[in-house]
Amino acid sequence: MTKLPEQLGPLKLVQQIGLGKHCQVWEAVDAKSRKQVAIKVIVPDMATDAGQRKLLEHELKVAKSLDHPTVIKIDRLSEEGGLPHLVMEYFPAANLKKQIAAGVEPLVPKLQRIVTETALALDHMHSRGWVHRDVKPDNVLAAADGQVKLIDLAIAAKASGFLGKLLGSKTLAQGSPSYMSPEQIRGEALDARSDIYSFGCVIFELISGRPPYTGADTNDLLNKHVSATVPAVDAFNKNATTACAKFLRQMLAKKPAERPASMKEVLQQLRAIRLVERAVV
């Protein structure tokens, strides 16, 4: 893979902090403002791909329509040396996937704040008419005190509604297999309840250390989301409360109508229950 230059216009690259299939995320310093920023840049080998640039343009459009402290802010889309890149807020925290890999027990003291702030981020997106469509631990940054930033808005889409039904809206099944709702897997039009399902998968993993479903291959995994019995989180972590296990079964219901109706309802329930009994010593 072709290496990035050390500088993109006024931005001096400091260190790589994220890696996707077609993009890299770097910490950088803006020589003009002297501020730390994060940049999401298309890898050189894909820099001329119009589809990748459109994803960055779309992500900027979504971000500019949002304004909430739990959602990452994106300042602009620039291009230097033929390399399109987003310039965004720098939030020095590891994503939840990395933190879960190090063990779920250290997350217990900040678990309630993490899930509450993630729910607030998604509720804000939904209030602006967007479905994130890629809710997963990799896309939630969490600081040591539990403060959260929701990231990666590249495949967010307008929620289905009356107009979408008139137009026969149907989207391709994009997303991450371990966290996709049954309706997302089928490529159906989505609303907030699809993100609620994915968020349920994230909470399940935060508590158990693993996603609710695993499979021999991608098709096996997707089939389990569509038809397998919802696993009990307390079977994997004895400190998960009965109320938490019941709530996650509801969030992970196969039919959207059987899930909480909105992220506001999710927030109400999260505030009314304990997820775990205590930290494991």
Residue 214: what pLDDT? 95
| Beta-carbon count within 10 A of 176 CB | 18
| Angstrom distance (rounded) from CA 43 to CA 237 | 40
Tokens coding 85: 């890149």
Model pTM above 0.85? yes
Q: CA triplet 260, 69, 13: central angle to 5 degrees?
A: 120
Residue 281: what pLDDT? 38
Residue 102: what pLDDT? 97
pLDDT in tens, 238-280: 999 999 999 999 999 999 999 999 999 999 999 999 999 975 4
Residue 161: what pLDDT? 55
* The residue to which tokens 């927030």 are assigned: 267
| Angstrom distance (rounded) from CA 180 to CA 218 | 12
Closest CA to 275 of 207, 217, 223, 181: 207
Task: List the alpha helices (DSSP H) in the chain.
Answer: 50-64, 96-101, 108-127, 162-166, 182-185, 192-208, 218-227, 242-251, 263-272
* pLDDT tens-place values along the chain, 281 residues long: 578 899 999 999 999 999 888 899 999 999 988 999 999 999 998 989 999 999 999 999 999 999 999 999 999 999 999 999 999 999 999 999 999 999 999 999 999 999 999 999 999 999 999 999 999 999 999 999 999 999 999 999 998 753 333 333 444 457 899 999 999 999 999 999 999 999 999 999 999 999 999 999 999 999 999 999 999 999 999 999 999 999 999 999 999 999 999 999 999 999 999 999 975 43
Query: CATH assignment of 96-272?
Result: 1.10.510.10
CA 30 to chain CA centroid, Å, is 27
| Angstrom distance (rounded) from CA 119 to CA 123 | 6
Residue 1: what pLDDT? 56
| Angstrom distance (rounded) from CA 218 to CA 254 | 18
Which residues lie across from 229 on neighbouring strands?
none
pLDDT in tens, 74-113: 999 999 999 999 999 999 999 999 999 999 999 999 999 9
Q: Which 3 state secondary structure label does DSSP give 208?
A: helix
At the topology level, CATH places domain 7-88 in Phosphorylase Kinase; domain 1 (3.30.200)
Residue ranges per domain, the chain? 7-88, 96-272
* The residue to which tokens 């807020």 are assigned: 89
